Amino acid sequence: MNWSHHYATINGIRMHYVEQGEGMPVVLCHGFPHIWFSWHRQIAALAEAGYRVIAPDMRGMGQTDAPPEPSDYDVESITGDLLGLLKHLNIDAAVFAGLDFGAFAIYDLALRHPERVVAVIGLENPAAPHNPEEAPLSEYQRMGEQHFLHIEYFRVPPRADEELAAQPRRFLHKVFHTLSGAGNYFDCFKHPPGTSYIDAMAEPPALPWPWLSEVEMEFFVSEYSRSGFTGGLNWYRSMDLKWQQRRPFEGVQSAVPAYFLGSEHDVDLEGFHGDDPIELMRAIFPDLRAVKMIPGAGHMVQLEASAEVNAILLEFLADIHRQ
């Protein structure tokens, strides 16, 4: 691989990012429990096609600093990281692609700083889950009174922090399979409140899987064994704060061009974005130019269906370049 690793002080934290290629800049933003390496099969493919690809470890995960307080994971801090990365790299504007929390981060950036965003490409998550009538952690707390719910399990430290850090390999092995097209996150709902996330998930098959090798899994395990999980969990614990910060943008539309890539068995599309997820995105980004769905895959789509994801991203980027 021809990618290069870099470290820089950006927006008050030490950020790690990987870069490869030259051309139109494309920033790839991951979610939880991911790191930059979730995009490792995309980086080279996009770079070889003529793009400058930048894949940061998002705040709190991988080798980027993890501030201890949930308030350090608000919208302003997260968008500030992305703006600071552009400034550090002397980039005026870039295409931003994101999955999970990374998708919400790029949507927030496009609404607040559209001049810095050439286009957004959302993977799996079409819009931040948003009920204007009730703060999200309160809503999920009510749901978590009926059955296990991972967001409620994460909400109050330090239980999740300690249990996941004690068994990083077992957690990542189980959660990657559970979130894939071969697993079923919603089986976790069969467990009562108070169950640990590790215990709520079904036993996964032994590695290697068709889409993930033992060595690749070990890289994720190594990084989270070093960093712990608190930084990633703080993205959940700050959901109410981000909800408040997004309220002034209720009903606001962005003129930034948008694209969406989803998969048939994505847990968020199935259970956390309402009956018509794509319309949620179109309500924010009326210039939604293309929607592609990959059959069979789940939330781990970059790894589960790498060739298909690469082809679709290149199709989207070619359209953006033409525009």
Per-residue pLDDT tens over the stretch 15-65: 999 999 999 999 999 999 999 999 999 999 999 999 999 999 999 999 999
Tokens of 3: 């990618």
Residue range 284-295, pLDDT digits in tens:
999 999 999 999
In this prediction, residue 1 carries a pLDDT of 66
Task: Report how far residue 95's alpha carbon sits from residue 52's, in angstroms, rounded to the nearest whole number.
Answer: 10
From the list 81, 100, 108, 266, the catalytic residue is: 100
> Across residues 73-101, what is the average pLDDT?
98
In this prediction, residue 272 carries a pLDDT of 85
**How many residues in the chain?**
323
Give me the half-sphere count of Cα atoms (radius 13 Å) on the Cβ side of residue 10. 27
**pLDDT at residue 86 greater than cutoff 90:** yes
In this prediction, residue 174 carries a pLDDT of 98
Dihedral, 41, 43, 45, 47 alpha carbons, nearest 10? -170
Residue range 164-221, pLDDT digits in tens:
999 999 999 999 999 999 999 999 999 999 999 999 999 999 999 999 999 999 999 9
Return mean pLDDT, the chain: 96
Between helices 214-227 and 168-179, what is the axis angle to 10°? 120
Quick one: residue 296, left, alpha or beta (phi over 0 = left, psi -120 to 50 = alpha)? Answer: left
- 319 counts as catalytic: no
Cis peptide before 277 (omega within 30 of 0): no
CB–CB of 97/26 below 8 Å? yes
| Share above pLDDT 90 across residues of the chain, in percent, rounded to a whole number | 95
- 275 counts as catalytic: no
Angle at 38 between CA 34 and CA 42, to 5 degrees: 155
Residue range 260-270, pLDDT digits in tens:
999 999 999 99
| Share above pLDDT 70 across residues of the chain, in percent, rounded to a whole number | 100
Strand arrangement, sheet containing 258-263: 4-10, 13-20, 51-56, 24-29, 94-99, 117-123, 258-263, 288-294
Angle at 85 between CA 79 and CA 86, to 5 degrees: 95
**pLDDT at residue 129 greater than cutoff 80:** no
